[in-house]
Amino acid sequence: MLVHELGVDGVAARLRGDGLGIDLGAAAVCIRSDIDELPSLLSRLYGDFDVAAAPGLFDVTVQLKVERAWWRRLRPQVNLWLDGEREFEPFPRDTPLPLLEWGINYGLASRLSCHLLLHAGVVARGDKALVLPAMPGSGKSTLTAYLSRRGYRLLSDEFGVIRLDDRLVLPLLRPVALKNASIDVLRAADPALTLGPSYPRTRKGTVAHMAPSASDARAVHQPARPAAIVFPQYVPGAGAELRPLEPARTFGRLAVNSFNYDVLGPQGFEALCDVIETTSAHSLVYGDLAAAVSHIDALMAGPAAGAEPT
Amino acid sequence: MPDADGTEDHYVARADLRWRELGDDLLVFHPVSWDVHLLNAAAGMVLEACSRAPQSSPSMAQLLVDWLADDLRADADGLARSLLVDLSELGLIVPVSQRAGA
Amino acid sequence: MADRPARRGAGRRAQLRVPMPPAHVALLLSAVMSPAAAQSFDAPTWDLVIRTARRARLLGTLAARLASASSVSPPERARRLLEAAAIESRFRQAKVRYLLATIAPVISRSASTALLLKGAAYVMQSRAVAAGRLPADVDVLVPRADLQAVESALLDAGWQYDAIDPYDDRYYRRWSHELPPMRAAGQALELDLHHAILPPYGRVRPSIAQLLDASEPITGQPFRALCATDQILHVAAHLFQDGDCANRLRDLVDFDFLFAEAARIGGADFFADALTQRARNLGLTRALAYTASFAAEWAGSEGGALVAERLASSCGGSTTVAVIGLAARVIAPVHPDAEPEGVGARLPLLLLSARSLWLRMPPHKGVQHALAKLLRRLAPSHGRVADADSAHPSAGEEKALMHTKNLA
């Protein structure tokens, strides 16, 4: 059953009851909340995802609750609870969705150490995956979202989940958090986009969430083989230039862009080396999204992407 | 430098290192610190030699001299010595005592 | 688990009455103590047990216990969550070994003797209780006379104190049994230097000389460890006197596992006698009685039952009843689905903190300290991750090196 098939009332009943369970691919999340606008927001952004039965076994369970303290009535706030712990400062009452989404990400990042977890966007063409590590200033989310509107399957905009058994990338699909100008860029790229509300006052500026497509949501249990790694760097006014990266340098950058490479120790070392040996790595400096995409198209179609293991 | 009685410091690589060649570089995982060290070609050659047999500064200088560019050859001794010291400080090789020429 | 020994005659005084554990705690402890029980768990039960275990910092222990029970095959998602904890445990234990390998020469030069305490000792001694453990720091005890030399040597070797509130720093140095935690570049764990196992000005002061005399070497290490009875007494002291009993379920498990391992040599009764006698010698009977009673009632610990029976006469009176009641409310981890806490939930914790302070320092000083802490707690963002959007996982060298104590 898909989330939108529950209807907004069905979603609301679950949120206020045992929880709305959602299958994201490599993880399942359970959300409980008493926030009025959340049922219709989640129906919109997670509509094409599979419902996971609650009560059940989840990787992350969160509660998003309005602050009940009496002195809060004047300036209401919402809190995110992760297994009974409040990890974050509260958000204003009118900004619940960003807190929910960031809180779920935080939970996921700390629960999935059974895999090698990269901080990266991941898209795929056919069964070949392109990993886009999230250096600051990379514009990774925008680029990942844009690629998903240009014929690439979206596996994740935040997490590169590498299964240790076979080095395949597993989808961990989430609504994509777009910031500021990216919101309009994506709307222009695909007028049929499903977007959540814009929240103007977050620390990152204005944030809006883009729903993944129905076909991407259907494919959350379909892994892909890492074929290329591209480190994007957004430079306004630049065209687009792709440059190969040396393997050792790629190792360092990927290690720093991993949530748990250090915790995995020898296993993380071997896994990261394997991934680098079987992919081609590049840096991409770009200011023009369309030009960036055509470089990536050429890369993914060419022989360099997806070398066989030696 | 050799001691008065002619002994040179000899080194062997730790037996439990993990290493992978990536391009021209060698990545080495240290099993106690869990640090990963990136070795350039010269350091990689020395480490690999130390994993096959105990090595000293003179033997490493000899290994390197053919491989070095002309302008660096004269300082093969110094380079070999500093590489051994560096690798030892990183804990990748450990000293063993052995008499020169034994 | 063995049945408790039959009660004897009428002259026997009543044992400490410990309340039943909350249901979610009983479930978790049953899986840890008798892993075969998990075979009957359905998905929601796995969910509750795993989340409770994570809160109680017992998920790694649970994973290790289940791994050794061949009759249990957890569902795939549970297997992955448990594996993640096992991986975290392996990482932390490697970091313990690395830290000790690094400081061993420094400490050998500057201290006449050095003991490992708690998790660091269990790991280096390969104790059964070390399996799946998630150490957050390394505790080393040196004689007070050597403390300054050791501290200087560590500072010279690149160890540093976190930027610390000068008030906390003075408190640590004057009233506590340990220095503020130290960190060094490349080390994921903190180093805690102790000179006693309990605060030096507190009401209970076990003799360090006795602990050192009875200490044991650790094979292949320049460090020593407390002997088996003293390790357990340290757990008991830590649980009921040094801290405020918050979320200390793990100590009950440690008590049982340590007892069971030590009892293998001469039998449970023999060890129970030795343990209670040692507690009398060191003045720790009350803490041991509390710990043993909880271990017996909550974790079904045979060792706990044997010890509680022997110490039945050691405690009694209204203070005991009040402490047991308070402790029961806060030893257990909060239920993962619990409603956000109100003042009522915090009160037991505050009362136990007060008690812990009372035990730790002379009364007039205790009031002063508590007042200072209260005033500072009113300052914003005490101890919490600051903002969701900046806590949002970010690339950075620091992330590659440091792990925080909060394992949730």
Task: Clarify whether residues A155 and A78 are in a common domain.
Answer: no
Name the residue type at position C364: H
Residue C6 lies in a domain: no
Of B18, B24, B25, the CB nearest to A269: B18
Residue C300 main-chain phi, psi, to 5 deg: 60, 30
Residues of chain B neighbouring C94 (CB-CB closer than 8 A): 32, 34
Residue of B nearest to A246 (CA): B23
CB contact under 8 A, C340 and A119: no
Is residue C240 within 8 Å of residue C270, measured between CB atoms?
no
Could you read off the pLDDT of A274-288 as tens digits, one per residue? 999 999 999 999 999
The DSSP-derived string for A210-255 is: EPPPHHHHHTTT--BEEEEEEEEEE-TT--EEEEE--HHHHHHHHH
Task: Clarify whether residues A129 and A34 are in a common domain.
Answer: no
C384: closest CA among B57, B50, A79, B35? Answer: A79
Predicted local distance difference test score (pLDDT) of residue C346: 53
Predicted local distance difference test score (pLDDT) of residue C283: 87
* Residue ending a domain, choose from A76, A111, A146: A111
Predicted TM-score (pTM) of this structure? 0.88
Q: Which domain holds residue C330?
A: 23-378
Residue B98 lies in a domain: no
Residue C390 lies in a domain: no
CB burial string C184-195: b at 16+ within 10 A, e below: beebbbbbbbbb
Query: Which residue has 């419902």 as its token pair?
Result: A51
Could you read off the pLDDT of C384-396 as tens digits, one per residue? 333 444 433 333 2
Is the pLDDT reported for residue A166 higher than 70?
yes
The H or E element spanning position A284 is strand A280-286
Residues of chain B neighbouring A281 (CB-CB closer than 8 A): none
Residue B25 lies in a domain: yes
Residue B97 lies in a domain: no
Q: Look over chain B and give the mean of its residue pLDDT values, rounded to a whole number.
A: 85
Q: Is A134 on the interface with C (CB under 8 A)?
A: yes
CA A309 to chain CA mean position, Å:
28
Task: Clarify whether residues A293 and A212 are in a common domain.
Answer: yes
Q: Is A202 on the interface with C (CB under 8 A)?
A: yes
Band of pLDDT at residue C2, cut at 50, 70 and 90: very low
Task: Clarify whether residues A140 and A93 are in a common domain.
Answer: no
Is residue A98 within 8 Å of residue A205, measured between CB atoms?
no
Percent of chain A past pLDDT 90, that is, above it, reads: 80
Mutate to test the interface with B, among C88, C92, C95, C98 (most CBs of B within 10 A): C98
Query: How many structural domains compose chain C?
Result: 1
Residue of A nearest to B39 (CA): A248
Predicted local distance difference test score (pLDDT) of residue C364: 54
Least confident of C17-26, C85-94, C269-278, C399-408: C399-408
Give strand pairing partners of C138.
Answer: C191
Predicted local distance difference test score (pLDDT) of residue A28: 98
CB contact under 8 A, C384 and A56: no
Query: How many structural domains compose chain A?
Result: 2
Task: Clarify whether residues A255 and A271 are in a common domain.
Answer: yes
Task: Clarify whether residues A128 and A250 are in a common domain.
Answer: yes
Task: Provide the token pair at A254.
Answer: 């990927």
Task: Clarify whether residues A53 and A196 are in a common domain.
Answer: no
C179 against C231, higher pLDDT: C231
- Residues of B at the C interface (Cβ-Cβ below 8 Å)? 32-35
CB contact under 8 A, C97 and B35: no
Residue B88 lies in a domain: yes
* Residue ending a domain, choose from A56, A84, A111: A111
**Which residues have CB under 8 Å from C80's CB, separation 6+?**
A112, A114
Tell me the CA distances in angstroms from C242 to A92, C235, C353, one per residue in order: 39, 10, 10
Mutate to test the interface with C, among A79, A83, A99 (most CBs of C within 10 A): A83
Residues of chain C neighbouring B34 (CB-CB closer than 8 A): 91, 94-95, 98
Name the residue type at position C350: L
Q: Is C217 on the interface with B (CB under 8 A)?
A: no
Residue of B nearest to C91 (CA): B34
The DSSP-derived string for C319-353 is: HHHHHHHHHHHHHSPPPTTPPPP-HHHHHHHHHHH
Residue B1 lies in a domain: no
CB contact under 8 A, B32 and C186: no
Residues of chain C neighbouring A85 (CB-CB closer than 8 A): 55, 408
Band of pLDDT at residue C240, cut at 50, 70 and 90: confident
Task: Clarify whether residues A40 and A129 are in a common domain.
Answer: no
Q: Mean pLDDT, to the nearest integer, of C275-280?
A: 95
Residue C395 lies in a domain: no
Q: CA A155 to CA B38: how far, in whole Å?
A: 31
Residue C46 main-chain phi, psi, to 5 deg: -55, -45
Query: Which residue has 């049945």 as its token pair?
Result: C3
Residue A82 lies in a domain: yes
Question: C137-141 and C190-194 as β-strands: parallel, antiparallel, unpaired?
Answer: parallel
Question: Closest approach of chain C CAs to the CA of B89, in angstroms?
Answer: 12
Q: Mean pLDDT, to the nearest integer, of A192-203?
A: 89
Please work out, in degrees rounded to the nearest 5, the angle formed at the alpha carbon of residue A203 by the alpha carbons of A201 and A208. 60
Task: Clarify whether residues A70 and A156 are in a common domain.
Answer: no
The DSSP-derived string for C56-87 is: TT-HHHHHHHHHT-TT----HHHHHHHHHHHH
Q: CA C22 to CA C27: how far, in whole Å?
A: 9
Q: CA A260 to CA C401: how far, in whole Å?
A: 10
Q: Mean pLDDT, to the nearest integer, of C205-228?
A: 92
Residue of B nearest to C99 (CA): B33
- Residues of B at the A interface (Cβ-Cβ below 8 Å)? 18, 20, 22-25, 27, 29, 31, 34, 36, 38
Percent of chain A past pLDDT 70, that is, above it, reads: 96
Could you read off the pLDDT of C73-103 as tens digits, one per residue? 999 999 999 999 999 999 999 999 999 999 9
A153 against C393, higher pLDDT: A153
Q: CA C369 to CA C346: how far, in whole Å?
A: 19
Task: Provide the token pair at C100.
Answer: 């000790």
C371 against C272, higher pLDDT: C272
Q: CA C337 to CA A93: how far, in whole Å?
A: 22
Predicted local distance difference test score (pLDDT) of residue C406: 23
Q: Which domain holds residue A245?
A: 116-301
Residue B100 lies in a domain: no
Cis geometry, peptide bond prior to residue A55 (ω within 30 degrees of 0): yes
Residues of chain C neighbouring B35 (CB-CB closer than 8 A): 186
How many interface pairs between B and C have CB atoms less than 8 angstroms apart? 11
**Most distant CA pair in chain C, distance:** 68
Query: Which 3 state secondary structure label does DSSP give A310?
Result: coil
Q: Is C95 on the interface with B (CB under 8 A)?
A: yes
Residues of chain C neighbouring B89 (CB-CB closer than 8 A): none
Residue A307 lies in a domain: no
Q: CA A24 to CA A159: how far, in whole Å?
A: 11
A197: closest CA among A206, A185, A186? Answer: A206
Strands (E), C198-290: 216-217, 224-225
C399 against B100, higher pLDDT: B100
**Which residues have CB under 8 Å from A225's CB, separation 6+?**
A127, A128, A129, A167, A168, A169, A278, A306
Residue A7 main-chain phi, psi, to 5 deg: 75, 155
Q: Which domain holds residue B22?
A: 8-92
Task: Provide the token pair at C41.
Answer: 């768990």
Residue of C nearest to A84 (CA): C336
Query: How many structural domains compose chain B?
Result: 1
Residue C202 lies in a domain: yes
Q: CA C83 to CA C73: how far, in whole Å?
A: 13
Band of pLDDT at residue C217, cut at 50, 70 and 90: very high
Is residue A108 within 8 Å of residue C368, measured between CB atoms?
no
Name the residue type at position C84: A
Of A63, A84, A111, the CB nearest to C334: A84
Least confident of A168-182, A296-310, C48-62: A296-310
DSSP one-letter code for C242: I
CB contact under 8 A, B34 and A255: no
Residue B101 lies in a domain: no
Q: CA B92 to CA B86: how far, in whole Å?
A: 9
Percent of chain C past pLDDT 90, that is, above it, reads: 56
Residue C405 lies in a domain: no
Task: Clarify whether residues A20 and A135 are in a common domain.
Answer: no
Residue B36 lies in a domain: yes
Mutate to test the interface with C, among B33, B89, B90, B94 (most CBs of C within 10 A): B33
Q: Look over chain A and give the mean of its residue pLDDT values, rounded to a whole number.
A: 92
Q: Mean pLDDT, to the nearest integer, of B9-16?
A: 92
Residue C397 lies in a domain: no
How many interface pairs between A and B have CB atoms less than 8 angstroms apart? 38
CB contact under 8 A, B32 and C97: yes
Could you read off the pLDDT of A89-138 as tens digits, one per residue? 888 888 899 999 999 999 999 899 999 999 999 999 999 999 999 887 78
C273 against C19, higher pLDDT: C273
Which chains have 3 or more CB–CB distances shorter than 8 Å to chain A? B, C
* Residue ending a domain, choose from A91, A111, A131: A111
- Cβ count within 10 A of residue A199: 21
| ipTM (interface predicted TM) | 0.94
Residue A218 lies in a domain: yes
Please work out, in degrees rounded to the nearest 5, the angle formed at the alpha carbon of residue A47 by the alpha carbons of A44 and A50. 155
Question: Closest approach of chain A CAs to the CA of B15, in angstroms?
Answer: 15
Task: Clarify whether residues A143 and A265 are in a common domain.
Answer: yes
